[in-house]
Chain A
Amino acid sequence: MRYHTPDNFDEASALAAQASGTTRFLAGGTDVLVQLRSDIVTPDDLIDIKHIPGVREITNEDHGGWRIGVAVSGAEMTEHPRLELDWPGVVEAMDLIGSTQVQGRATLVGNLCNGSPAADAVPALAAAGAHVTVVGPNGSREIAVEDVPTGPGKTCLEKGEVISALHLPRRGHAAGDAYLRFIPRTEMDIAVVGAAINLRLDGDTITEARVALGAVAPTVRLVPKAGAALIGSTLDEAALDKLARAARAACNPIDDRRGTIKFRTKVAGVLAQRAAKIAYARAKGDRK
């Protein structure tokens, strides 16, 4: 295994583009090193991107959105004084991943690139409308978070492409997001179902809504019909009912010992409703 420490993303991309064997990028390492240690994936080239300037920074951008460096850990996001005020759902989703020790290293972009259908941070990012900047051999491009995963453990990134930053949009007024997951215990488990909601209000009426689900399909899924079910409503019973039906209709889960198809599908509707209530309260100014 060759270990590389490029100084910039063009160099990181070139290293990956030229590599002939298995290549992995290393940020927090909480997936890459587990796979290495378990002899699942032993890279021929391991490209540590933590020596690139800016990768450990959370920056408030000119247009009011946030840029999150690809090596920012979950703990750094939770400790940030302002990020959680804008995007509590994204921060709480990331904070659900793993132990204190894992939080010290794990990153948002790592959670995205690992391609798990049950990734906790990814539904929250998709609901938030986050996108990533990708640097590759043919220049850079911007990709919406929901378009990155293409199947379990798979992403749309081409050979030589590397994500250089994650961007959250400007929060704006009267808006809130939330993420909930179901696990059979109280912490440190993989989502059986995850649901993220991001809303904007005009008075009591929902004017914008994005809904994303995790662990109920081969990839994390943005569900536009579930979002549409909320728009124009005041989150009344009828709207919640439509939301749950649209969320369940988008489910195509696996049947395994942690949850049956029937169970996951039912819970997806319930969690979407509960997360919508939290997001709505946050959009009204509730800071909890």
Chain B
Amino acid sequence: MSMIHVNTKVNGDEAEFLCDPRETLLDVLRDQLNLTGSKEGCGTGDCGACSVTLDGRLVCSCLVLAVEAEGHEIGTVEGIAEGETLHPLQQKFIEYAALQCGICTPGILVAAKSLLEKNPDPTESEVRYWLAGNLCRCTGYDKIIRAVMDTAKDMREAS
């Protein structure tokens, strides 16, 4: 099996890797680039634990082949904080205890950040629909939704 050389950008930094064409972007992020924030839940695009952005668009990295990343820009949960300073969403998730086991959390943070960039003032229904592709089996969603709504409010007031 011939390996394919891929040049891409991850969280603003140039990255390159060799991969089998069957490998997913999620496989390469975790196993080669050591970015283990993105999780594999279902592996078939249902649970959202592997959510990343591809050229700014929210996608499941388990449903993107690593070779498709050639020439594109990937954003993962590792790129959300600025150095030691947590993103307001991350801070608010801690305050609200909007997580328990934490497997879904990176995907939800990436998805929620993508929502707030597109719509800084979402209704609760809009947040729930936007995050419908991110499954959480612990929290019952309420704390997650409240954390996102409260972050949106803070960010609007700060801007």
A residues apposed to B, CB below 8 Å: 1-3, 26, 29-30, 33-34, 36-38, 42, 46, 48, 50, 73, 75, 98-102, 104-105, 187-188
Contact = CB atoms under 8 A, between A and B. Distances in A.
B137 interface: no
A26 B132 CA distance: 25
B59 A105 contact: yes
A38 B4 CA distance: 23
Contacts of A2: 21
Interface string B115-136: 1000000000000011111100
Q: Kindly list the 5 A-B residue pairs having the minimum CB-CB distance in the complex, ordered from nearest.
A: A99-B133, A3-B21, A104-B57, A104-B59, A101-B60
A99 B132 contact: yes
A2 B62 CA distance: 19
Given A30-B63, A99-B133, A101-B48, A48 B68 contact: yes
A29 B63 contact: yes
A3 B65 contact: yes
12 contacts: A3-B65, A33-B24, A33-B45, A33-B65, A34-B44, A34-B63, A73-B57, A98-B133, A100-B129, A101-B133, A102-B45, A105-B63
A37 B64 contact: no
B88 interface: no
B38 interface: no
Interface string B60-104: 101111011000000000000000000000000000000000000
Candidate in A29, A36, A48 with the most chain B CB atoms within 10 angstroms: A29
A98 B46 CA distance: 9
Given A187-B132, A188-B132, A188-B133, A102 B60 contact: yes
Given A38-B44, A101-B111, A187-B129, A1 B57 contact: no
B21 A1 contact: yes
A46 B21 contact: yes
Contact of A101 (B22, B51, B67, B68): B51
Given A33-B24, A36-B22, A105-B59, A99 B48 contact: yes
Per DSSP, are chain B's interface residues mostly helix, strand or loop, or mixed?
mixed
Contacts of A33: 24, 45, 62-65
B145 interface: no
B147 interface: no
Contacts, number: 80
B85 to A, nearest CB: 27
Contacts of A29: 63-65, 68
B61 to A, nearest CB: 9
Contacts of A3: 4, 21, 65, 67
Given A3-B4, A3-B21, A37-B43, A100 B130 contact: yes
Contacts of B24: 33, 37
Nearest to A187: B132
B152 interface: no
B58 interface: yes
Contacts of B60: 101-102, 105
Candidate in A50, A75, A101 with the most chain B CB atoms within 10 angstroms: A101
Contacts of B129: 100, 187
A104 B133 CA distance: 12
A105 B58 CA distance: 9
Given A34-B44, A34-B45, A100-B133, A105 B111 contact: no
B80 to A, nearest CB: 17
A22 to B, nearest CB: 13
Nearest to B110: A101
A75 B158 CA distance: 29
B68 A50 contact: yes
Given A37-B44, A100-B111, 18 more contacts: A26-B68, A30-B63, A37-B43, A48-B67, A50-B68, A99-B45, A100-B130, A100-B133, A101-B51, A101-B58, A101-B63, A101-B111, A102-B60, A104-B54, A105-B60, A105-B63, A187-B129, A188-B132
